[in-house]
Amino acid sequence: MLKILNVVGARPNFMKVAPIYKVMKRQKENFLPLIVHTGQHYDFSMSDSFFEDLEIPQPDFYLNVGSASHAVQTAKIMIEFEPVLMEQRPDWVVVVGDVNSTIACALVCAKLGVKVAHVEAGLRSRDRTMPEEINRILTDAISDVLFTTCQEANENLISEGISEDKIEFVGNVMIDSLFGNLERARQRRVTERLGVRKNEYAVLTLHRPSNVDNEDTFKNLMLTLIEISRRITIVFPVHPRTKVNISKFGLESVIEESNVRLIEPLGYLDFIALVADSKFVLTDSGGLQEETTALNIPCLTLRENTERAVTIEMGTNQLVGLNSQLIKQRAFEILDGRFNKTGRILPLWDGHAAERICEALVRRSQ
């Protein structure tokens, strides 16, 4: 039996770990799965509610690191994770995505000789000003097995000199969670509770420091989105960091007078139901680019680059950057029925990626 420590830290991690944990629990003869929550996200709506929505138990270990600068947070996670690792001596540690918890726990494992599996490996934005890009590159360099979501990720890893025998193309566990929970999510009737109708609203998410921490950038973005909201309601679940800056930059009154509706962050089930019934999505998130592609929902990504290029090549996603004219042009194309991108199910985005990951861990442990 393999003892596995599954690491979660920030909101995007939960949807990736949940299907893996559930498969491991079903295969009792093969796995003893444990969950380590670093506490990188500590607000209930940003963290704990996801355990409930995804039907996974409370973590076996909670490190309680909280918010801090990248360096301080990464260091805190390493310090708190090391004694857990030394006490538990797992066969594998599974890290997911590209947050500080990912690289911090992988580094501790590398120093102590514990095998690391990186889920969602090989994604590259080619923008090293993004902290996540540094986390991805370093985690991939020190992991023992790299589970990828698309063939492009395999090619990225090989081009960086990583041995092909470390790479396993398994598909996308985010889509496992999406397909596995969508029907249950729709039963919650979130649109009725919010007073919006299917296909008559857009969804907005904004949280990246490059978009919300600079006053001029954030103001220009919000004024552009307010202009779009004259034609369609924009539902905006506000990230805590973004909420602070809305107040700091004096944007509250102009937003209140618009058709941009600020709401509190949603749990996973409510959020995917909201996205699934929307006309389109505007986001600077990574995972939403994938989920909208799987749902065939148009997505406008408010970034200059993306590590999920496959969603542009094969899906519904378009990069619009921070260009006000381009953002409005693409949004109005959607509203006028002239948006010509359609999504499709990508190879191995079939809801069974977690099963392939677990099979590979067993095989690689023999």
Return the CATH number of the domain spanning residue range 2-172+349-364.
3.40.50.2000
Model confidence at 31: pLDDT above 80: yes
Is residue 44's pLDDT more than 60? Answer: no
Confidence of residue 271 (pLDDT cuts 50, 70, 90): very high
Nearest CA to 142 among 109, 94, 164? 109
pLDDT at 43: 61
CA neighbor of 167 nearest in space, from 123, 122, 114, 116? 122
Residues of the chain within CATH 3.40.50.2000 domain(s) are 2-172+349-364, 182-335
pLDDT reported for residue 47:
61
Q: Between these two residues, 170 and 41, which has the higher pLDDT value?
A: 170
Has 207 been annotated as catalytic? yes
Mean pLDDT confidence for 83-93: 98
Supply the pTM of this predicted model: 0.94
Smallest CA-to-CA distance from 344 within 153, 175, 155 is with: 175
Half-sphere CA count of 157, side-chain side, radius 13 A: 31
pLDDT greater than 60 at residue 45: no
Instruction: Report the range of poorest mean pLDDT among 89-93, 336-340, 359-363.
Output: 336-340
Q: Which of 118, 207, 239, 352 is catalytic?
A: 207
Q: What is the mean pLDDT of residues 62-84?
A: 94
Helix (H) or strand (E) holding 299: strand 299-301
pLDDT in tens, 118-174: 999 999 999 999 999 999 999 999 999 999 999 999 999 999 999 999 999 999 999
Contact 352, 360 (CB under 8 A): no
Residue 318, sorted as left (phi over 0), alpha (psi -120 to 50) or beta, turns out to be: beta
Alpha-carbon torsion (319, 181, 275, 44), positive or negative: negative
pLDDT digits (tens, 9 = 90+) for 168-205: 999 999 999 999 999 999 999 999 999 999 999 999 99
Q: What are the tokens at 12?
A: 């995007």
CATH of domain 182-335: 3.40.50.2000
> What integer pLDDT is reported at residue 364 of this predicted model?
98
For residue range 206-256, what is the model confidence (pLDDT) as tens digits?
A: 999 999 999 999 999 999 999 999 999 999 999 888 999 999 999 999 999
pLDDT of residue 336: 97
Structure confidence by residue, pLDDT tens digits, 239-251:
888 999 999 999 9
For the cut 90, the answer to whether the pLDDT of residue 51 exceeds it is no
pLDDT value of position 257: 95
What does the pLDDT read at residue 230? 98
How large is the average pLDDT for residues 258-287?
96
Tell me the β-bridge partners of 262: 236
The structure tokens 């093969």 sit at: 30
What is the tens place of the pLDDT at every residue in 324-345?
999 999 999 999 999 988 877 7
Other CB atoms within a 10 A radius of the CB of residue 16 amount to 25
Count Cβ atoms below 10 Å from residue 22 Cβ, excluding itself: 19
Q: What one-character DSSP code corresponds to residue 321? A: T
313 pLDDT band, cuts 50/70/90, is very high
* Separate counts of helices (H) and strands (E) for the chain: 17, 13
